[in-house]
Amino acid sequence: MTLLVTVTKCHTLLGIFPSFSPIDPEFFPGNRIVDTFSDRYFFNLANKKSDNSNNLRGQELDEMVLHLSSDSQAALIVTDASIKNDIATSISHIHSHNRLLVKTVHHASFVTTMEAELFAIRCGINQASAIPNVSKIVVVTDSMHAARRIFSNESHPYQIHTTAILSELRNFFSTNESNSIEFWECPSKLR
């Protein structure tokens, strides 16, 4: 099913986008990622209660990156999104052992920060899951609320984006029973 988006005032075609369907298989009870692959995704949240929390989180992230750099089956994704003058910029950096760092930048207008964040995560997962022999993907983001939204069973306005991410993850998880994804929170103050 697709949705054709047009602007009535000037009759300009903006694009063709897949539309959200509540009967999408990703949302059938028993078929959802949370039902079938709940042991394959993890959230590593920052401890915000400590006075020294940013320093500690910075050290944890440094150690994690060093560890992943030597793991040939891991891919690291760092995402960020921002909006300035109604133009959203989504950036994904993807790195895997002994491979070049890949930077992907997308610009869009008239989207929310949440949409831009989800798009950056989606692009990163898409590229990382295509790297041969990758079984672990680690996403570092300052938008943990967007990452958690991906796995939410509740109805929300961003389900068209989360459906696409869930589809990518389903394919990734299905190729090998040891494949997993981890989301690490990186507070904005560390960037």
Digit-coded pLDDT (tens) for 2-52: 333 323 233 333 343 444 455 555 555 556 777 888 899 999 998 877 777
Whether residue 126 lies inside any domain: the answer is yes
State mean pLDDT over 52-60.
Answer: 85
Whether residue 11 lies inside any domain: the answer is no
Range of 141's domain?
A: 22-190
Whether residue 4 lies inside any domain: the answer is no
Q: Which two tokens stand for residue 64?
A: 């994690």
Whether residue 16 lies inside any domain: the answer is no
Higher per-residue pLDDT: 1 or 49: 49
Q: Which two tokens stand for residue 182?
A: 């981890």
What is d(CA 188, CA 191) in angstroms, rounded to the nearest whole number? 6
What is d(CA 24, CA 176) in angstroms, rounded to the nearest whole number? 23
Whether residue 100 lies inside any domain: the answer is yes
CATH assignment of the domain containing 183 = 3.30.420.10
Closest alpha carbon to 76 in 99, 52, 109, 48: 99
Whether residue 127 lies inside any domain: the answer is yes
Whether residue 49 lies inside any domain: the answer is yes
Whether residue 5 lies inside any domain: the answer is no
Q: Which pLDDT band holds residue 78 (cuts at 50, 70, 90)?
A: very high
Per residue in 154-171, pLDDT (tens digit) is 777 888 888 889 999 999
The count of other CB atoms within 10 Å of the CB of residue 66 is 9
How many domains are there within the chain? Answer: 1
**Rg value, the chain, Cα:** 17
Residue 29 · residue 35 · CB < 8 Å? yes
- Name the residue type at position 30: G
Query: In this predicted structure, which of 51-55, 74-78, 116-120, 128-132 has the lowest mean pLDDT?
Result: 51-55
Q: Which two tokens stand for residue 150?
A: 């991906």
pTM of the model: 0.81
State mean pLDDT over 140-151.
Answer: 92
